[in-house]
């Protein structure tokens, strides 16, 4: 089967991330959750083009004791109530050696196995180097959304964009080739 997918990072791609000294952090409650402009329409267009859609998210603050799993799950469920995603994969570990913690590719490989994905026809969209490295490790095309003029290696990803609409256009144009 030739299942292609788009795998989205959560904080900074699906929803707005918060920044403090150029470091992003997730919303702490559903009251702080604000979807990025255009994400709902982008996901609809991507699904209509035949892609499966997934969220892959590191949430290490649970392991660090800064929030609870229940809080993160409540935020995830709230986000999923607003967008049409095939599945959300989450890593709560703060251990960089955990196979699911990006930049490790564990969550992508789980989606590949569960949905019989062709990762060479798939995209990873993220706002951090770790997202891009996880995608590259699985032979996915990578799109870096560069937030707030963040200093990041623009040569790392296959494509660099400022917003989700630009990312969607790249996916749809590439899909027609």
Catalytic residues: 9, 11
Residue 156, token pair as written in the block = 């790392």
* Residue recorded with tokens 């590949």: 112
Q: State the DSSP string of 41-103.
A: HHHHHHHHTTEEEEEEEE-TTTTTTSS-HHHHHHHHHHHHHHS--SEEEEE----TTSTTSTT
Contact 4, 52 (CB under 8 A): yes
């Amino acid at each position: 089967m030739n299942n292609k997918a788009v795998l989205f990072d959560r904080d900074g791609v699906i929803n707005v991330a918060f920044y403090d000294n150029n470091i992003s952090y997730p919303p702490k409650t559903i009251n702080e959750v604000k979807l990025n402009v255009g994400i709902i329409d982008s996901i609809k267009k991507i699904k209509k083009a035949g892609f499966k859609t997934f969220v892959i998210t590191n949430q290490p603050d649970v392991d660090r004791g800064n929030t609870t799993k229940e809080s993160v799950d409540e935020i995830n469920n709230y986000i999923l109530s607003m967008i049409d995603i095939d599945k959300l994969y989450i890593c709560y570990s703060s251990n960089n050696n955990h196979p699911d913690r990006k930049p490790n590719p564990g969550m992508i490989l789980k989606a590949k196995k569960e949905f019989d994905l062709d990762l060479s026809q798939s995209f990873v969209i993220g706002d951090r180097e770790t997202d891009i490295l996880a995608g590259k490790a699985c032979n996915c095309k990578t799109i870096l959304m560069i937030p707030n003029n963040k200093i990041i290696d623009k040569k790392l990803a296959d494509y660099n964009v400022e917003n989700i609409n630009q990312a969607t256009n790249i996916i749809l144009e590439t899909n027609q080739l």
